[in-house]
A and B are shown apart, each in its own frame.
Chain A
Amino acid sequence: MKGAQARAAQNGVPDVAAHLKYCRVVEECGFESLLTAFGFHRPDPIVLAAALGVLTTKVKFMIAVRSGVSSPTAFVQQVNTVSVLTQGRVCLNVVGGHTPKEQRAYGDFLAHDERYERTDEFLTICRALWKEEGPVNFKGAHYQIEEAVLKTPFVSGERRGPEIFVGGASDVALKLAIRHADCLWTLPRSPEEMSGQVHEVLASGTEVGLLVSLIARPTREDALAAAADLLQRVGGEARQVHREYSARSDSAAFTGTLARAEKSESEWLTPWLWMGAVPYLGAPAIALVGSYEEVAKAIREYEAAGITQFLFMGWPDLEEMRHFSDGVRPCLGDSQSSPTSERPPAAMLK
């Protein structure tokens, strides 16, 4: 299982046939978009999205962007090119970068907070280019741009630029999301615990989304058995992998969740929010576990707390997407409690 392996040991060669099959399941199961993640151990997410995008017709690609030393103009040119190639099926997931060591491999030697400051400048320039209101000029601490004009526009229905998601839990990440993003991705805590911060972000006009794994089965017993089975499969070595990763990481979201999972007396933050797989598979393995009904109820509670978008992961994903689409979604549809549940969730390409 990919998440249980050290990153350096993972295979970075894209398998087009397998990825396409995955895209089809994502489309069939009613997921709106697919996150192509960023990392030295993975194929480049924007090239991958362009290639898969021309072979698909429905799924949208959420391209992960790492704050780095790329030119914002070159970046916008790439995003716009993908938008034309895929009839606008592209949005962005902006992350600050989570390990200084990996950043240095890309020639980036900035510290955590400075990376966010640079990302702020980066997105300011990108959004100015997307406005298409004439030549863009910018002079900041990290970038200087003079009279920039591109001829490849962002093409996607009514939108002039891509929907932007920002991930992170630190104060600087929050500020960045409020300034530039359509939606902030967060890792789950209990809905009560989250609601304060969620409303602060909502008040600024930015949506809040939840990045969470699912283990949903017809009954709670089945789900618990699936969770136990997952632990069985990932084994003990993976725990060391994620401890080592955490020691190198300066991501508040990832290390915070992992530390919490390691220290906590119980693996259960709420009756359905389970951290048991986090030490083995990393922070995004924090999962909603339960019967279809229970998982649907949990999702509705997050919606009630103001969460409007969801990015789900599964172990394995293909199987879990079916459980979501066949089991959980019909339960969600019953209530129609929240108009925002109309927005289909996103998945991740692992």
Chain B
Amino acid sequence: MTLEFHWRLLQGGETANMTRAAEGGRRETGLPDLGRQTEFCRYAEQCGITGLLTDIGATKPDPILLAAALGMATQNIEFIVAYRSGLIPPTTFVQQLNTLSALIDGRFSLNIVAGHSPLEQRFYGDFLSHDERYPRTEEFLAICHAFWAGDGPVNFEGNYYRIQDGLLNTPFVARVRKSPYIFVGGGSEGARKLAISQGSCWMRLADTPAKLMSGAKSVLDAGKELGLRVCVICRPTREEAIQAASALVSDLDPVLREREQEREFIRRSDSISIRQGYENADDQWPTPWLWTGAVRSHGSAAVAIVGNPDEVASAFIEYGRIGITQFIVSGWPKLEEMIIFGRDVIPLVRQKERLLAEAGTSIPQ
């Protein structure tokens, strides 16, 4: 088993050290920037990155259409299209995805999230509570799978959806798969169960390997994979990496009140993993290589592996040992960190994987 690395796509107008507060003030983050984003895709292909995450949210462009536009301009890179239930009916969703698959040769997977902000869900007319959003997403994905199974008309009668004789003439088109690979994001029990029943991979925010053991076995036993959202700060030496990490938070613009705004965001969120990630950030170094120092200003997804290339590669292998094999990575700045990662870290990870395989201690699947 080899570890698979994905990266977060560069956003329009994105700057090197952008916090949620800084992003909020910039109109450009809502605008696709095909020139820079296509260039980013080409770099990702060269760096050995499998897929690029296209985020979803009211402050972003639509991820399905952005993936379509970027997919037309690229050959190999895949896209991880983030989506939530509660926006469009499952039939329309499948029709859009199948159309996308035919246009870009199936080069995408899904990152299904339940939504993290009740306020934002209401923008879209969705008034369900956190706990109800999971059962609805369960129904949503069950209907999608029924379409992808291609066994004739789809009929479904649930608590949230009712579909009668659903048929689509545009199939999911890909080289191998019959339906998209599905990352299910979220740290709650609801997310874990959803990953097992409808997904391909349970995706969590980074934490120590010890803490991530919880719930992991049930997912692996179900034949599904485990994944992690994590940031990387890798420099030639550990000292330089730590320096880069502290610069990230010491260079904050006092005018933007970034810490206050992130706290406000957390207060409004009903996502269990986002809130936990924020609370856990009291301990800045939960392991010698895992740093949470940027969480309070850059958000719960900013937990970072910090170190020299060998330390960073070893950290990923540690996750691999407990069965975590999929990684959606980000860094500051996204492009430069991705180039360092592709050049200095991935080759070391591959080397360590080979050594482990030769020693007969392969990473469990």
Instruction: Report which A residues bind B (CB closer than 8 A).
Output: 7-8, 10-14, 16, 40-44, 46-48, 50-51, 53-55, 68-75, 77-78, 80-82, 84-85, 101, 104-109, 143-153, 155
Contact = CB atoms under 8 A, between A and B. Distances in A.
Contacts of A13: 102, 170-171, 173
Contact of B168 (A40, A77, A80, A143): A40
A70 B90 CA distance: 10
Interface in B79-119: 86-92, 95-96, 98-100, 102-103, 119
Contacts of A8: 167, 169
B181 interface: no
Given A71-B88, A77-B58, A107-B163, A51 B126 contact: no
A46 B127 CA distance: 26
Given A42-B170, A43-B170, A106-B92, A71 B99 contact: no
Contacts of A106: 89, 91-92, 163, 166
Contact of B58 (A42, A70, A149, A155): A149
Nearest to A101: B165
Dominant secondary structure at the B interface: mixed
Contacts of B64: 47, 78
State which size class the interface on B falls in.
35 or more
B216 to A, nearest CB: 33
Contacts of B122: 144-148
Nearest to A19: B103
Nearest to A72: B125
Interface of B: 27, 29-32, 34, 58-62, 64-66, 68-69, 71-73, 86-92, 95-96, 98-100, 102-103, 119, 122-127, 153-154, 161-171, 173
Contacts of A147: 119, 122-123
B168 A12 contact: yes
A78 B62 contact: yes
Nearest to A82: B65
Contact of B68 (A50, A84, A145): A50
B58 A150 contact: yes
B124 A73 contact: yes
B351 to A, nearest CB: 39
Residue in A48, A50, A101, A150 with the greatest tally of chain B CB atoms within 10 Å = A50
B30 A151 contact: yes
A175 B115 CA distance: 37
B103 A47 contact: yes
Contacts of A75: 88
Nearest to B26: A151
A109 B91 CA distance: 14
Contacts of A77: 58, 61-62
Residue in A47, A54, A55, A77 with the greatest tally of chain B CB atoms within 10 Å = A47
Contacts of A53: 69
Contacts of B95: 40, 43-44
30 contacts: A10-B169, A14-B102, A14-B170, A16-B72, A41-B169, A46-B96, A47-B65, A47-B103, A54-B34, A54-B72, A69-B89, A70-B88, A71-B124, A73-B58, A78-B64, A80-B62, A85-B66, A105-B91, A105-B153, A105-B154, A105-B165, A106-B163, A149-B58, A149-B123, A150-B58, A150-B59, A150-B123, A152-B60, A152-B62, A153-B30
A16 to B, nearest CB: 6
B170 A12 contact: yes
Nearest to A70: B88
A45 B325 CA distance: 36
B38 to A, nearest CB: 10
Contacts of B169: 7-8, 10-12, 40-42
